[in-house]
Structure formats: C-alpha cells, structure tokens
C-alpha cells in the first residue's frame, strides 16, 4: 500500500528540547511538505522540498529545521527556538511539476509541551 507514514502519532517535549518528527513516503513523489495546524486555523506551510538535498522555507519556518537526504524521507525538527510548538503537524507529498496533482497527507503527529 502506497502512502505517507508519520511517526510518532503523539509526542511530548520538555521545554528547551529539540524533537524530530518522522515522515516517510513510498509514493515515489519528488515534493514533500510540512504543515502545522492549530485549533481553528488552517494548515500553514513550514518547509517544503522539491528534490533531494534541497528545501525551502514556507510561511512559518522560524524555530524549525528539515533535511532531505533521501527521496522518501523528510524529517522535521522542532527546535527549542520555536516558542509555541504545541500543534498538530502534517506531512504531505505530491508529484512535482504538475500543480494539478493533489498533495497526499499523512495522519499527523500531535506535539505537546510538558
């Protein structure tokens, strides 16, 4: 079954800690994305990547970092510089270069601060 796997489903972080959220896809998609969803808010783009070893900042990149060492993997690190990290994080992927191809989403990771 092709799809996007995000892990863990729930994650707790202590103040001052960095945490890394995993995102893996086996859809052979070139483009991958990280979004953040807050209650009553839409999805806001954190980072995106169109090709291995390259990524761009989205609308709310401050306090986050990413890497794209493999086509199928796009981990997101929430650093201690992110002052309000509690949120629902969604990873997505899509075929690149065809804007009419919808993004496919994982089931998300809910991050909470202890």
The span of 12-20, 44-52, 66-74, 75-83 binding other proteins (CB under 8 A) equals 44-52
Distance CA 80, CA 106 (A): 24
List 41, 60, 66, 72, residue binding other proteins (CB under 8 A): 41
- Write down the least CB distance from residue 77 to other proteins, Å: 20
Residue among 2 and 40 whose Cβ is closer to other proteins: 40
Q: Provide the token pair at 22.
A: 């995993």
What residue ranges bind other proteins (CB under 8 A)? Answer: 4, 6, 9, 31, 33, 35, 40-45, 48, 50, 56, 58, 90, 92, 94, 96-108, 110
């Amino acid at each position: 079954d092709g799809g996007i796997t995000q892990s863990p489903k729930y994650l707790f972080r202590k103040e001052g800690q960095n945490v890394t959220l995993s995102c893996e896809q086996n859809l052979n998609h070139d483009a991958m994305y990280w979004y953040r969803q807050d209650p009553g808010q839409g999805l806001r783009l954190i980072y995106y990547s169109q090709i291995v070893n390259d990524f761009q900042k989205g609308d709310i990149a401050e306090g986050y970092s990413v890497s794209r060492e493999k086509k199928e993997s796009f981990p997101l690190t929430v650093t201690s510089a992110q002052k309000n990290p509690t949120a629902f994080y969604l990873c997505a992927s899509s075929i690149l270069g065809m804007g009419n191809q919808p993004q496919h989403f994982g089931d998300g990771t809910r991050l909470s601060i202890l």
